[in-house]
Every structure is written in C-alpha cells, then in structure tokens.
Amino acid sequence: MQKIGHVLLAGAGAVGMLHAVKLARCPGVDFRLAADGARRERYRREGLFFNGERKEFRFAGEGEFFRPEIILVATKFGQFAEALEMLAPYLTAGTIFLPLLNGISASTIARKRFPSARVLDGFFLGHASMREGTSVRHDGVGATYLGECGATTASDALRATEELFFRAGIPCKTPPDMTAAIWKKFILNVGVNQSSAFFGADYGELREDPEKIAFAEALMLEALAVAEAEKIAVGREAVDAALDVIRSMPPRAKTSMLQDAEKSRPTEVALFAGEIRRRGAAHGIPTPENDRVWARFGEIFP
C-alpha cells in the first residue's frame, strides 16, 4: 500500500477547510490548495480563516510543478465542472480522486471525466459550519465517510486514503455499503437543507415547529420512495435517523442552503429537489413537496 505524501485540495469552503487545516500540518505531507488566479488572489488579499485564526496555505501552480498522489474536491456542486477542468493537468493514471460534495452523482461524473484515475466516493457528515466570506467556523464534530460504491473489498486507494486521514487526525468511517450511506446523507440533505431554507429556519426553529419538521419529513419520504424504486438498500430507518440528526444539531446552527439563500448565493436546489423531481418522474413517483421547494428556489437561486 502506498503512503500518500502529496495532497491537493480544491474548495476552501466549510468542508474544504475542515480537511485543509489538518492535512496542512500533517507530518510527511506536502499539501497544496488548488485555486484559479482570481480566487487565489482573493484568498491572499482577504485571508482564509478557520475558527477565527488565519491559515496560510501553499498553492499549486506556483513554482515547481506539483504532482499529487491524491486530489480532494470540496467545492459546491455548481463549481464542480469548473474544478474538474482546473484539476485535469494534475492527474495521471492512478491518481486517487476523492469528491466530498453533497448529492449522489459527483463520483460518477468524476469517473467519466477521469477514467484512468482511482475515484473514491466520500462525504462529510457532522455539525453544521458557519461561513462568512473566507471565514469558516466549526466545532469539530463530524466524520468523513469513505468508500467505493459497489465494491466488496477495500482497494489499495481506499486503504491509503484512510491511512492518510488517520495520520492527519481526520475522523473517518468506511461503511460496508457506501451506496446506501451516500443515499442516507442525501435523504437528510433533501429534508433539512431544503426545509430550513424554505422557512428561513435554523435547526432549533426547524425542529421546534411541528409544521416545519413535518415538511422536512415529507421531503425525505419522497426521496426515500425514489431510493426504494432504484433498489437502494435504505428504508424508513433512514428518515428516522435523519430526524435524529436534526434533533442533535446545535439549535442556532444553520444549514449551508439557508446560509446561501440568506446571502443570495446560488443554492444547491437542483442537486436536491431537482434530482428528486427528475428521478421521481422517471419512476412515476409524485414529488409534490419537492415541487414546492423547486417553485420557491429553482428560478430565484438556481
């Protein structure tokens, strides 16, 4: 098994910074951020802050050419296609590629774009972070989930990535059924991200109001119906577990979609309601609650 020593990461938002701050200080790791020229200059000008402390990172594309063994992507889904093209020069056959995006399609897209790369599946699940400009705050509660959808045994790429995260002090889990794990996180996002943005509610307001939490549950039940139609190994317990996650969050924390809507930034509604509506239509499954979310955000914040 290879020992990873060169790491490249694209995306300095909440999930990106959670990984960047630990990888950058990991012994034996040469860590770089990937950013286009304009974004790189903005980061230098405004600084990148994590829990109030300014963090300094080296950037790929400056000085000698950087050849990473692993590339992590933690952008918003709307920036993913652009990130793939920016990262293309850094890939060779066998490069490990780990998308850490919301939704259920990022790794599939990456495999099509980089067929010779060793693409893993992954996501972060934990307490919500707060992002303001180039500043991120997070309480450290959460873990990164790693796997390979459809695989029955762990590949060398997965084991090497797990070992890297262990060295860096990044909590990680490798569920036995990664496809089901991704869908469970997706079902949670469909419910909590969209209902919080729809009502303009933080986690406390969401769970304390019967109407709001019922709406979140209805959104998730539509997603569950689609998952079952696609033969994903999830059941009602996925919705119950998602409701437990909502109850466990700090009451004044806000979902990323609510933060985006409040700042009039593009939301990930196409990734959530858009995906459920499209797949639901293909299976003849009505999705009236996700239709409501789409009607609210699909045109305003696509």
Whether the predicted pLDDT of 1 surpasses 60: yes
Q: Report how far residue 239's alpha carbon sits from residue 237's, in angstroms, rounded to the nearest whole number.
A: 5
| Dihedral in degrees, nearest 10, Cα atoms 227, 229, 235, 238 | 10
Q: What is the reported pLDDT for 136? A: 96
Tokens of 194: 């969209």
Would the pLDDT of 301 be above 80? no
Q: Which domains does the chain have, with CATH numbers?
A: 6-173 (3.40.50.720), 178-297 (1.10.1040.10)
pLDDT score recorded for residue 2: 82
Of the candidates 136, 250, 259, which has an alpha carbon nearest to the alpha carbon of residue 197?
259
Tell me how far CA of residue 11 lies from CA of 5, 59, 117, 139, 161, in angstroms: 20, 12, 19, 19, 18
Q: Does residue 279 or residue 63 have the better pLDDT? A: 279
Query: Is the pTM above the cut of 0.75?
Result: yes
174 Cα distance to chain centroid: 16
pLDDT of residue 299: 62
Q: What percent of the chain has pLDDT over 90?
A: 95
Tell me how far CA of residue 218 lies from CA of 42, 225, 276, 281, 295, in angstroms: 41, 11, 13, 17, 16
pLDDT per residue over 232-246, tens digit each? Answer: 999 999 999 999 999
Report the half-sphere exposure of 106 (CA within 13 A, side-chain side): 28
Query: Higher pLDDT residue, 147 or 1?
Result: 147
Cα–Cα distance list, 53 to 21, 48, 49, 119, 124 (Å): 11, 8, 5, 33, 22
Residues β-bridged to residue 59 = 33
Per-residue pLDDT of 196-254, as tens digits, reads: 999 999 999 999 999 999 999 999 999 999 999 999 999 999 999 999 999 999 999 99
Convert the pLDDT of each residue in 89-102 to its tens digit: 999 999 999 999 99
User: In the predicted model, is pLDDT for residue 108 greater than 70?
Assistant: yes
Q: 25 or 298: whose pLDDT is higher? A: 25
**pLDDT value at residue 63:** 72
Query: What pLDDT is attached to residue 278?
Result: 97
Average pLDDT over residues 44-50: 96
Please give the mean pLDDT across all residues of the chain: 95
